Structure formats: structure tokens, C-alpha cells
Amino acid sequence: MKKIVYIEGMMCEGCAKSMKEAFENMVGVDSCKIDLKKKCAVLKLQGNVIDSALSDCVERTGFKCTEIKIKKGLF
């Protein structure tokens, strides 16, 4: 399963790196790709990681989660 997490507050590569590392340290997250221009993270997950866990990860890293969507199609 793939999810897109929209994140408010990421301004630079350092922010993106912090968020990527936080997601990749979560149980159930295989990989993470950050898109600074679109202000989102595309996550490849092992099964279904609940949205509240993803949102909590964003908040703990110092940013704001604005939306989470299931990604359909190619990664």
C-alpha cells in the first residue's frame, strides 16, 4: 500500500531529510520519498499503517500534517 502525506512547514532539504528519517524509522514503512515542491511524502507501506500514526510522526518531527491519501498507480 502507498500513502501520500501532505506536510506543512517543510522549507528546506534539512526539513525533508528529518521527515524522511522519521518515517523510515516507523514500523511498517518500507520507504519514503519527500517532494518539497508539493509539500508531501509518498510512503510505501507494509500493509496498512493507520493514518493517526503517520500524522503523529509528522507532529513529533515538528511539522503539521494537513491530509493523508491512499496513492493509486505507480510509485
Q: Does domain 2-70 have CATH number 3.40.50.920?
A: no
pLDDT tens-digit series, residues 17-57: 999 999 999 999 999 999 999 999 999 999 889 999 999 99
Q: Is the pLDDT of residue 73 over 70?
A: no
- Asked whether the whole model's pTM tops 0.85, one would answer yes
pLDDT of 4 higher than 90: yes
Task: Parse the chain into domains and list their residue ranges.
Answer: 2-70
> Which of 48, 31, 26, 35 minimizes the C-alpha distance to 6?
35
φ/ψ of 30, rounded to 5, equals -80, -45
Strand 40-45 with 64-70, pairing: unpaired
Residue carrying C-alpha cell 521527515: 19
pLDDT at 74: 59
